Structure formats: structure tokens, C-alpha cells
Amino acid sequence: MDEMDDELRPQYDLRTLLKNGVCGKYVEHYRAGTNLVLLDPDVAKAFPDETAVNEALRSVS
């Protein structure tokens, strides 16, 4: 990679930023089937919290 193509600023040294990173930190959640869904903003406004979303989805199944 050419240095001219590198857009990362010099003050953001990845070795420093990632030194405490944990590989596979969320793998168990992933394997357990945790499922996240991004709602469109207009849809999200209709639900005050996750319980309301779940109740609405259960009512249509």
C-alpha cells in the first residue's frame, strides 16, 4: 500500500488503539443466534422500546 493511499491519520496508531482488543469477544452471542435488526427511522418511531416491537411482531404471527 502506498503511503499516499493511507487515509489514517498518524495520531491514530492501530497498535496502540487495538492493544487491549479481544479477538472473538462476541462470538458466543453470535453462535447463540443473537439477531439484531435495524429498523427504518419512521418504523422505529412507532415503538417506544424492544418490548413493544416484540409484542407487535408476535401479534402478526
| Domain residue spans of the chain | 36-61
Provide the residue-wise pLDDT of the chain in tens; the chain has 61 residues: 555 677 777 788 878 878 888 888 888 888 888 777 889 999 999 999 999 999 999 999 7
> What cell was used for 29?
452471542
Task: With 0.75 as the threshold, say if the pTM is over it.
Answer: no
Q: How far is CA 60 from the centre of its chain?
A: 27
Q: What pLDDT is recorded for position 16?
A: 81
What are the CA-CA distances from residue 28 to residues 21, 37, 41, 53, 61 (Å)? 16, 18, 29, 24, 28
Q: What pLDDT is recorded for position 60?
A: 94
> What cell was used for 36?
439484531
Q: What pLDDT is recorded for position 1?
A: 54
Q: What pLDDT is recorded for position 27?
A: 86
